[in-house]
Structure formats: C-alpha cells, structure tokens
Amino acid sequence: MSKLPLRVFSPFFLVLVLPLVSCDTKTCTLVGCVNGATLQRDDVGIEEADLTNVEILACWNGVCSKAAPTLVASGGVNCTFTGSIQVVCQLWVEDDGKVAMNLFVEPSAPVQNGDVYQVRIVHTDGTEMFEVEQAVTYTEHYPNGEECDEEPCLGAQL
C-alpha cells in the first residue's frame, strides 16, 4: 500500500472533520443596560423664558427626585436631579421656541409591571405646566442577544 502525501487529504480533512470538532462557544458583547422608563416629548408646555423658573419632579411608585434646570455657558440646559432615584434629563429649545425633553427614570429597586411613574413640571409660581402619570407594562430587551443575557432589561415608554 502506497502512502499519499498529506497535502492530498488536507482539503477533505478540513471539510469533513472540522465540523465534527467545532466548539459550542458563543461570542457575546458586553453591552449593559438599566431598567426604567423613558419620557420623550417635543413640547412640555413651557417656553424658553421659563426654563429657569420651573421645577421638574420625577417619581417611581411614589419615590421622587427633583431638579431645577439652569442654563449653562455652552447654551445648554443643566437638569441635575437630587433625591432617592436616578434621573437623567435633557432639555432643549426647538426652533419654534417650545421646550423639548428626554427623561429617563432608573428605579432604586427591582421593577415590575404595574409600576407607576409620574413626571411633573411646576412653575415657581405654583402653576402646573406639564404632568404625566402612568402605570406601565415593561418591554424586555436583550442588548447582547437572548443567548448571552441571563436576564432581560426592562423598559417602558411614558
């Protein structure tokens, strides 16, 4: 029996044998996320002139944080919240002079369907300018894919 050179079998080896020894490992990204609710509005009922004359209150199940927006040198609006829950807020003035807002509330404990969120904007004279109160149903998100995330991130829109 004659021996054939190894290079004659190499393509067959790769095609027939490698699928049999393939790994079952998965490659996952490490994108993080947090549970909570997002509010996005093009008009929150205040004018640019009122930006520094309001207080914003954001609540989750009665636990609240508040902010008094301030103008910063760059022309933006600082919306820093203090209180028991984390809140991230962006305010800006649209071309028509209306104030738009993106706001994210991160609860201080595990979330569940039926949680109640409230966002209020009140003028310093006591006039309520904007309010949303809503019980939510969360949507599951798997930023790294269902096969990689042990638990979903839970998010809701207000």
pLDDT in tens, 57-108: 999 999 999 998 888 776 678 888 989 899 999 888 888 888 889 999 999 8
pTM, full prediction: 0.76
Domain chopping of the chain, boundaries: 36-157
Q: Which CATH class is domain 36-157?
A: mainly beta
Phi, psi for residue 79 in degrees, rounded to 5: -130, 70
Q: Which amino acid is at 58?
A: A
pLDDT in tens, 42-57: 999 888 888 888 999 9
Position 146 scores a pLDDT of: 85
Structural element, H or E, at residue 8: helix 6-16
Task: Judge contact between 123 and 53, C-beta under 8 A.
Answer: yes
* Range with top average pLDDT, 21-25, 98-102, 129-133: 129-133
Give the C-alpha separation, 99 to 147, whole Å.
41
Phi, psi for residue 11 in degrees, rounded to 5: -60, -40
Q: Which amino acid is at 65?
A: S
